[in-house]
Amino acid sequence: MKRFMYGSLIAAGLLAGAPAYASELKIMWYLGTDAEEQAIKDVLATYTKLKPETTFNLQIVPYDDIDNRFAQLAAAGTLPDLSKTSSMRPFIRPYLTDFAPVFGKDYLKDFVPGWAAGAKLGDQIIAAPLQVTATGMLINKSAFEKAGVDIPDIKTSWTWDEFLAKTKEVADKAAVRYPLVWDISQSRWLTMQFQYGNHIYSEDEPYKVVFDHDKATAVLDKFIGLTKTHMPPGLWSGSSSDNPKQLFTSGQAVAWMSGNWQVGGLAENASFDWQAGPTPYGTVKSSMVGGDYVIGFNTSEHVDEVNAFIKWLTTDPKAQELYTKPIMYIPANLKVPPIDYGNAKASAALQAFKEELSASPNFAATDQANPAMQYVWGPMRQSLFQATTGQITSSQAIDQIIKTAQESLTEAGQ
């Protein structure tokens, strides 16, 4: 997902005539979309109306710089009261509030399992799940209807072999240019590995590399095959200028491997009927779970107020809807009722993605959440390009990925 960069200091929720004992909470936040700035401002203003004694000083920061800022502020003793984050790196963990004694040990049971697992550190709960992202398949429903081919429901789904056969049939019968387009993304490819029960790291500490070479090689062989039979020529070799998003949005593809962040654009721009899922599976039904957390810092002078706000934001259905609806995010809290996002197709698609997330195994979240993964993404992408262009074999590509993953644990201090 693209992150937009901002650096201005914004005051939010400051009310005239607030009582002398009011707590102004310093909150650090990065943005996933332009619309998120107004969304978080509205959230903070709403909370201040509910709790006039709590106001906020909101600082919008670049996503790519968040960990450097944490390190600098921790060293200077000037950490904020709370922040949004996508991971809790080892260096910052000693400064994080443990929510378990306050929220209760069962607090995380209400959240998407894989993302909730990333919020734990032993018996501690060091983060509160906020929103989740889901990798999965977007389907050109109009093309299926024109071809007279049925789409299974989310719970039934279809295997990769069934899906590939159906999309090929639909493309032929409905005269759609391509059966499948796929984001040029190593994380989408890793999602396919998840769907065959394979993942990079163990789910719990002490971390080790558990990526099965033979399984991974077989899946990569299958992927290379479908780049030739189902996707635009040269899409994954770099020789094509075709854009998966443009092709699908213009109705030139039967299916698109991407994720929930595309829903808003499709709702606005697609002239055909479309839906999210079902995402095909091999031996395991899986998405890739990403997202964001909210963390509180134990260095704050207002820990109780921070805890109260974070619990409200992550457990109150109205608060979750207030934050996620305008930016078409998926709430991490599974108890939040289906949200009307103002567009029937978008609402149904985001609910479908949420259902696929809830059915995904823990490793669909823990791989991406592992800090060591930052050292793997780039080399993994290069290995995939080398394999898809025939420069190396699938087996050699997997060897390279495993070697990089093993080195990443050392680089990440694990």
| E strand residue ranges, 170-251 | 178-182
pLDDT of 289 above 60: yes
Cβ contacts of residue 129 below 8 Å, gap of 6+?
108, 111, 112, 115, 116, 119, 291, 293, 314, 332, 333
For the segment 229-245, the average pLDDT, to the nearest whole number, is 88
Q: Does some domain include residue 406?
A: yes
Structure tokens belonging to residue 340: 């009307």
| DSSP label of 164 | H
Angle subtended by helix axes 35-50 and 303-315, to nearest 10 = 120
- Per-residue DSSP letters for 4-54? B----EEEES--TT--TT-EEEEEEE-BSSTHHHHHHHHHHHHHHHH-TTE
CATH number at residue 72: 3.40.190.10
Cβ contacts of residue 243 below 8 Å, gap of 6+?
none
- Per-residue DSSP letters for 261-276? GGHHHHHHH--S-EEE
The better pLDDT of the pair 356, 17 is held by 356
**Domain that includes residue 249, residue range:** 135-289+362-412
Q: Does residue 386 sit in the same domain as residue 279?
A: yes
Of 47, 44, 76, the C-alpha closest to 59 is 44
Cβ contacts of residue 228 below 8 Å, gap of 6+?
none
Q: Does residue 105 sit in the same domain as residue 183?
A: no
Which residue's entry shows tokens 């005051």?
Answer: 11
Phi-psi sector, 239: left (phi>0), alpha (psi -120 to 50), beta: alpha
49: amino acid identity, one letter:
K
* pLDDT 10s digits, 379-411: 999 999 999 999 999 999 999 999 999 999 998
Q: Does some domain include residue 12?
A: no
How far apart (Å, rounded) are the C-alpha atoms in residues 146 and 235? 26
pLDDT band at 345 (very low <50, low <70, confident <90, very high): very high
Q: Does residue 277 sit in the same domain as residue 163?
A: yes
Q: Does residue 249 sit in the same domain as residue 347?
A: no
Q: Does some domain include residue 1?
A: no
pLDDT of 238 above 90: no
Q: Does residue 234 sit in the same domain as residue 347?
A: no
Of 212, 222, 182, the C-alpha closest to 363 is 212
Residue that terminates a domain, selected from 351, 370, 398? 351
* Residues present in the chain in total: 414
Q: Does residue 177 sit in the same domain as residue 217?
A: yes
How far apart (Å, rounded) are the C-alpha atoms in residues 210 and 93? 25
Q: Does some domain include residue 225?
A: yes
Q: Does residue 126 sit in the same domain as residue 157?
A: no
Residue 21, pLDDT score: 53
- Average pLDDT over the chain, rounded to an integer: 92
Q: Does some domain include residue 13?
A: no
pLDDT of 19 above 90: no
Q: Does residue 77 sit in the same domain as residue 194?
A: no
Phi-psi sector, 238: left (phi>0), alpha (psi -120 to 50), beta: left
Q: Does residue 244 sit in the same domain as residue 299?
A: no
Residue that terminates a domain, selected from 325, 351, 377? 351
Q: Does residue 308 sit in the same domain as residue 369?
A: no
Q: Does residue 214 sit in the same domain as residue 95?
A: no
Residue that terminates a domain, selected from 351, 370, 387? 351
Q: Does some domain include residue 3?
A: no
How far apart (Å, rounded) are the C-alpha atoms in residues 365 and 51? 34
Q: What percent of the chain is modeled with pLDDT above 90?
A: 81
Of 54, 53, 59, the C-alpha closest to 40 is 59
Residue 1, pLDDT score: 39
Q: Does residue 144 sit in the same domain as residue 281?
A: yes
pLDDT of 12 above 50: no
Structure tokens belonging to residue 32: 């996933």
Q: Does some domain include residue 18?
A: no
* pLDDT 10s digits, 138-174: 999 999 999 999 999 999 999 999 999 999 999 999 9
The tally of domains found in the chain comes to 2
Q: Does some domain include residue 231?
A: yes
C-alpha 403, offset from chain centre: 26
Structure tokens belonging to residue 396: 């050699």
pLDDT band at 414 (very low <50, low <70, confident <90, very high): confident
371 in Cβ contact with 89 (< 8 Å):
yes
311 in Cβ contact with 296 (< 8 Å):
no
- Model pTM? 0.85
Residue 34, pLDDT score: 87
| DSSP label of 235 | T
27 in Cβ contact with 80 (< 8 Å):
yes
